[in-house]
Amino acid sequence: MVNNIEVSNHNFCQWLVHIKLRKIVLLVIIILVGVTFLTYMNLWYVEKDSGITHGAHSHLDLPDESIAFNNYGSHVKDLYRIKGSVSAELRDMEFKRQKLQLEIQSYTKNIDQLKAEMVHQQTELNRLKISVEQAQVAQREALQQNTPELALPHRLVPNNLPEINLPVPALKSTHCRMFSCFDHSRCSLTSGFPVYLYDPDQYPVMNEGWDVDGFLKTTLKQVLGYNPHLTGNPKEACVFLVLVGEALKDTDDVSENVGNHLNLPPLDSKALKRLPFWGGDGRNHVLLNLPRRDLSASAGDVFTSIDTGRAILVQSTFSHMLFRPGFDLIVSPVLGPPGGDVWQECSRMLPARRNYLLSFQGEMKVQPTMSLEKIRDAETSEKSIKYSDLDKFIVGHLKDMTKGTTSDKFYFEFECVPASDDNFHAGPQDWSLCGTDSSRRAFLKESTFTLIFGPGTSDLVSTTLLQARIYEALRSGAIPVILGGDQVRLAYDEVIQWRRVCIFLPRARVTELHFLLRTIPDTDILLMRRQGRLIWERYLGSVQSSLDTVVAVLRDRLNIPPLPADTVAATSVFNETFQPIQVIVGLDTEQDESLGPLEPPYDSPAFRRNYSLMLTQGHEIWNDWGDPFRLYPALPMDPLLSSDAKFDGSGRGFRPIGQGQGGAGKEFSESLGGNNPREQFTVVLLTYEREQVLLDSIARLRGLPYLNSVVVIWNSPKPPSAELRWPEIGAPLHIVKAARNSLNNRFLPLDNLQTEAILSVDDDAHLRHDEILFGFRVWREHRDRIVGFPGRYHAWDINTQNSWLYNSNYSCELSMVLTGAAFLHRHYFHLYWKWLPQAVRDKVDEYMNCEDIAMNFLVSHVTRQPPVKVTSRWTFRCPGCPQSLSEDDTHFQERHKCINFFSKVFGYMPLMNTQYRADSILFKTRIPHDKQKCFRFI
């Protein structure tokens, strides 16, 4: 019907113009004929009055010449007068004709504008109809919803001290498990796992002559202060931490004499029972024995023959008899710094195969700490003799490997040079380490694999020396090969998948060792090395990471979710009394197609998986992309429902296209579709003293479907002008004041970012609505990756052969999508500030550059996937905008340096190449006339 009306209006206009032109032409012809006729009649009357005829007259009949001349002169004047009158009339008619033509053009223009306005209003009407339908669906879903949306719960903590119970018998305590010896009533699901620390100076638990390492005491209290679970109120505590080790002999002569003379053990069991919250049996107490310097097996275990009741033991050395699986915890010695960035300690992961295929430095010794009687018993024991013979065979076979004809190189050192103070000591019939820390690190950095022997006696499940060797190997990037790995357990093995890091081999299979190592390809070597570095940096590299890991493992046992990740308060640049001026911007005539419904802001559901995340994806959280120390509102790796679930029992929130039947452009624009429920996105704009450019960019967002809000990060120390007229775009607008001018502020985890999808945009970028929405739809299918528009890549410098270059030329592959116009998940904002090494952000501030490169490094490192580029556009800068930072001559030189520095921090080049670009389905596709493409120009 609308099309018929439009055709009728068009025909009517053409007919009207045709009729007017005909009238004008006819009028001109009539005037010309009339003028000619009047002139002729006038001349005829003149001839008649003068007696002039056209017959044959004699010249005698002609009037006098003077009279004729005067008459003809007057007639000529009359003719000139008539001509002037006719010309004036013609000019007047031409003026009227031109005026009519201008009116016709004005009417035609108005008609075209009304047509465009009608199309635009029709598009808006269609969008409003879609919006109403979507709102009705949301209302029905809300009415049908039986369970509330989960959010952060209220904390439920106890309000009393532990009651005094009778001490448990020693036999019962040796069989303790979490269900039998732990008081779960103090650790509710919503408690947040509060932890109380006994001050080691106020509550000492060591015997006379022994003392806790001063460095450990100071460092432990310092780093635990950064742990969000620490509480100063013992009434609400879930667990109580007691620092036991590292136990060292007191240097005071009197104390040393007393302690050594009485042969007292390091730990005083009576002092434990005197702790004010011990409760008689030590339930919910955690005894921390964290070795740092003395790594011998004998000093690693201080709990032997000590009544520890129902307390959890945490140390590096355990025997099979003492260790209680699922209750006690094996940890790594704290050999690193207190905290901070530890990436400088790690070596690069490349090349995959290093100078030595396998290395070992150590010597088997029988420590004099054993009594002669025990040594004789060990020597006469048949089991001990066979064990010793096996060790001799292993050493002999390893020496034979170095004499073979293979091209592989080995470095084995079985006899140490005179011991230095830095040597690690072994336990009875165990292997010690040779050399200093620096010399061992040098060999490990040259080794693809390093050999680590299990404990010398079969009754040990773990030793401090073993854990220390694992620590050293992972720090240097040498893959541990544990000979005797079938008898040992490694630190935090209830949550860490050590088989992805180490090779476990029984002693009897030493003859297969060389063959096994040769079968491992470069890809798996780098995969294991990368995984080892991840484990070392996250859980072993510093005192703080070690202590945080102990707390996290205990909390994980109880299925208590972590505390929520910290956010940054979004402080407005305006004070509470100032109200910024908002104006309604003009209609955007560029958009003449319905791109989606107009909806009120809809925040992404947050914390839906508070209690199920660690149950279903616990291994990924601990070993892959997760962070077991914090709880995030949502993750880009959250699982998806199957396609039929949205139609069979789990359809709440989903908006399938054509209600599940699919469809072309019309149906496509009416519903969001995809594999995820409905959602919106937030636009984050970073700006610095380009007010008009910013306002124009904001104004272009008016009427954009699925827009939740716009957050402008005001990087300038100077506040915006009070006279600025901020565009009213139909969505909330937040102007956030940055603490300082930094490009890192682009990725601040602000507390007003209420959607998972974030569109990071420069203030001078110009994107059409259809491009933005297409990018949003593509991101919904690649939620863990950067999806955007300007593509770049890292190129190998063929001149130096040892560095990378940043390249923005046209290329058939890319490895980066710049965050000046890209979608990414809000989770990466948290990782950028909480996980990314501080050195990277410092380099961004130093150059005032490269924050987009840093984010690409981070996402590619976590996902091992390249970004996704959409559409074919390459430039997005608005014409006439003030100069940006990227136009500086040093811009590209700094980006070259950034890429090479970041690769050193990460230990390798995490960026991945891709030859893929996303364009819309049905783009450049011939479809029936009654169908629409998904996007007209994409």
Under 8 Å between Cβ of 786 and 778 = no
Q: What is the mean pLDDT of residues 831-841?
A: 95
Q: Please provide the DSSP assignment of 878-890 as one string.
A: PTTPPPPGGGSTT
pLDDT number for residue 25: 63
pLDDT number for residue 69: 58
pLDDT digits (tens, 9 = 90+) for 80-97: 888 888 888 888 888 888
Mean pLDDT of the chain: 84
Distance, CA of 130 to CA of 135 (rounded, Å): 8
Under 8 Å between Cβ of 457 and 319 = no
How confident is residue 146, by pLDDT bands cut at 50, 70 and 90? low
Distance, CA of 93 to CA of 500 (rounded, Å): 95
How confident is residue 386, by pLDDT bands cut at 50, 70 and 90? very low
Distance, CA of 490 to CA of 487 (rounded, Å): 10
**Residue 221, helix vs strand vs coil:** helix
Distance of CA 458 to the CA centre of its chain: 46
pLDDT number for residue 353: 95
CA distances from 26 to 29, 32, 88, 740 (A): 5, 10, 18, 78
Please classify residue 649 by burial: count the beta carbons closer than 10 Å to its beta carbon, then call 0-12 exposed, 13-18 middle and 19+ buried: exposed
Residue 889, number of CB atoms within 10 A of its CB: 6
What is the pTM for the complete model shown? 0.83
pLDDT digits (tens, 9 = 90+) for 885-908: 555 668 899 999 999 999 999 999
620-627 long-range contacts (CB < 8 A, ≥24 apart) are 622/495, 622/496, 622/497, 623/495, 623/496, 623/497, 623/500, 623/531, 623/534, 623/535, 625/784, 625/862, 625/863, 627/565, 627/831, 627/834, 627/835
Distance, CA of 205 to CA of 893 (rounded, Å): 59
- Is the pLDDT reported for residue 374 higher than 60? no
What are the strands, taking DSSP E only, across 641-687? 681-687
pLDDT digits (tens, 9 = 90+) for 583-626: 877 655 455 677 888 888 999 999 988 889 999 999 999 999 88
Q: What is the mean pLDDT of residues 214-243?
A: 92
pLDDT digits (tens, 9 = 90+) for 430-446: 667 777 888 889 999 99
pLDDT digits (tens, 9 = 90+) for 115-138: 877 877 777 777 777 778 777 777
User: From its phi and psi, is residue 660 left (phi > 0), alpha (psi between -120 and 50) or beta?
Assistant: left
Residues linked to residue 476 through DSSP beta bridges, in sequence order: none
Cα atoms in the Cβ-side hemisphere of radius 13 Å centred on 163? 6
pLDDT number for residue 823: 98
- Token match 């940054």: residue? 568
Dihedral sign, Cα of residue 369, residue 372, residue 373, residue 379: positive
The percent of residues in the chain predicted with pLDDT above 70, rounded, is 82
Distance of CA 775 to the CA centre of its chain: 17
pLDDT number for residue 698: 94
pLDDT digits (tens, 9 = 90+) for 842-890: 999 999 999 999 999 999 999 999 999 998 765 555 444 455 555 566 8
- The two beta strands, 816-817 and 195-197, are unpaired
Under 8 Å between Cβ of 770 and 669 = no
Q: What is the mean pLDDT of residues 1-22?
A: 51
Strand order in the sheet with 868-870: 733-737, 707-714, 681-687, 757-762, 821-825, 787-788, 868-870, 917-918
pLDDT digits (tens, 9 = 90+) for 630-675: 999 999 999 999 999 889 888 888 989 998 899 888 889 888 999 9
The percent of residues in the chain predicted with pLDDT above 90, rounded, is 50
Distance, CA of 332 to CA of 546 (rounded, Å): 8
Of 587 and 551, more confident: 551
Under 8 Å between Cβ of 265 and 306 = yes
Under 8 Å between Cβ of 749 and 836 = no
Report the catalytic residues: 852
Residues linked to residue 451 through DSSP beta bridges, in sequence order: 481
Under 8 Å between Cβ of 213 and 292 = yes
Angle at the Cα of 468 (from 467 to 470), degrees rounded to 5?
65
Under 8 Å between Cβ of 153 and 191 = no
Under 8 Å between Cβ of 655 and 680 = no
How confident is residue 376, by pLDDT bands cut at 50, 70 and 90? very low
Under 8 Å between Cβ of 697 and 763 = yes
Of 25 and 846, more confident: 846
pLDDT number for residue 585: 74
Q: Which two tokens stand for residue 406?
A: 């293979």
pLDDT digits (tens, 9 = 90+) for 290-328: 888 766 555 567 888 888 999 999 999 999 989 999 999
Distance, CA of 312 to CA of 331 (rounded, Å): 13
Whose CA is closest to 461, among 434, 488, 442, 482?
488
- Is the pLDDT reported for residue 56 higher than 80? no
Whose CA is closest to 444, among 468, 421, 415, 473?
473
Please classify residue 642 by burial: count the beta carbons closer than 10 Å to its beta carbon, then call 0-12 exposed, 13-18 middle and 19+ buried: exposed
Angle at the Cα of 30 (from 25 to 35), degrees rounded to 5?
130
Of 39 and 596, more confident: 596
Ranking 159-173, 243-257, 402-416 by mean pLDDT, the lowest is 243-257
Q: What is the mean pLDDT of residues 570-575?
A: 91
pLDDT number for residue 511: 93
pLDDT digits (tens, 9 = 90+) for 466-488: 999 999 999 999 999 999 999 99
Q: What is the mean pLDDT of residues 687-713?
A: 93
Cα atoms in the Cβ-side hemisphere of radius 13 Å centred on 812? 0
pLDDT number for residue 32: 73
Of 55 and 825, more confident: 825
pLDDT number for residue 375: 37
Q: Distance from first CA to last CA of the chain, Å, rounded?
A: 30
Of 605 and 49, more confident: 605
